[in-house]
Amino acid sequence: MRIKRFRSPFVIILLTLVASRIATSATAKVLRSQDGAATVYVFKDAYALDRFNKLPANALSDDSLVEPLLTCKVAQGSSIIILGPGYRTAFVRVTGGNASGCEGTVPVENIRDQ
């Protein structure tokens, strides 16, 4: 009795391509500022974002307090890929603009569909 062998490498490759296509299209997003500012902040981590949110309003214009919390500043509409989604924050990689390659944490409210 001979058992017919299934082409498993072909199926695995096909499923991998389909899954990567679905994952890429599902996470291709852009960054938007909540207050309409020209730049969007990308923070080092969720702790840095929390520290930023606790700063008094008059301290937000002081670069010496804000800059240490950031990995980069990006223009509104910059393309991103979500690497780690969360409930209140997401870990993202910037894929467009002059900050391409920058990785960090942003509030989920700053993430929009293209």
Bridge partners of 30?
Answer: 79, 112
Q: Check residue 38 and give its pLDDT.
A: 85
Q: Check residue 13 and give its pLDDT.
A: 67
Q: Check residue 9 and give its pLDDT.
A: 66
Q: Check residue 42 and give its pLDDT.
A: 95
What string of pLDDT tens digits covers the 114 residues of the chain?
566 555 566 666 666 655 555 554 455 689 888 887 889 999 999 999 999 999 998 888 888 899 999 999 999 989 999 999 888 999 999 998 889 999 999 999 998 887
Distance CA 55, CA 73 (A): 18
Q: Check residue 17 and give its pLDDT.
A: 57
Q: What is the pTM of this model?
A: 0.73
Q: Check residue 1 and give its pLDDT.
A: 57
Q: Check residue 66 and give its pLDDT.
A: 92
Domain annotation for the chain: domains and CATH numbers: 28-113 (2.30.30)
Q: Check residue 37 and give its pLDDT.
A: 82
